[in-house]
Structure 1
Amino acid sequence: MIERIESGVRMSKIVKHNGLAYLCGQVGDGDTVTEQTRDCLSRVERLLETAGSSPEQMLQVVIWLADMADFAEMNAVWDAWVPKGRAPARACGEARLARPELKVEIIVTAAC
């Protein structure tokens, strides 16, 4: 069974299937990479909770940065947030994001 949560015409914020939760890409508010990353991770936590999951159950994370020069700044926020001993498999790359003011986008797959 596939469960779609917070669905719209274009996408669902969460899709659950076979004990996994797939979150749509999350972006955050703020002017800096630090602010946007913190807001992204707050949104990720809310969606994981809605899906019946948590940061401890993350399996894979893909992070897109508008500029890889922001890698260390994003990682400072990430490293403080990710549960100790529970880091997911992760990839990070540079991409042009949907709006020019966006600096980071985070995509999560987690167990439920």
Structure 2
Amino acid sequence: MTEQALNNRLYQTKGQRFTCEELIAIELEYGVSNWSDEINRRLGKVSFAVPNENETDLVELSQLQLQELAERGILFAKLNEFLSDGVLTQEEQDVLHKLLHKSQQTTAKAIEVAIAIHKQ
């Protein structure tokens, strides 16, 4: 879907909803995953990009593992902060769920890269 086609579609819909195919096309065209991430979050699932085995190496794996630890650190720091009063509000729960999904995505990506690098 070109930018002009997207603009035409936005004009035609005038506030109506996009189809799933159109949302997927937008994500592919612009390299974003907002819609699919939200769908997965609502379903309690996690998605991640499967790495290209020809483009991965131990340096990338190391960087992904550091990123994974950083994401988990952010999650647990927020959890610790939110539990300080002994009660989790709905807003705090939403933040924790988003951080959890982000952490799980990072973990899954690091594992997929490790598999791709070390498979026979």
Question: TM-score w.r.t. structure 2 length?
Answer: 0.27
Q: Which has the larger radius of gyration?
A: 2
Instruction: Give the structure with the higher percent strand.
Output: 1
**Hey, which of these two has a bigger chunk of helix by percent?**
2
The normalised TM-score by structure 1 is 0.28
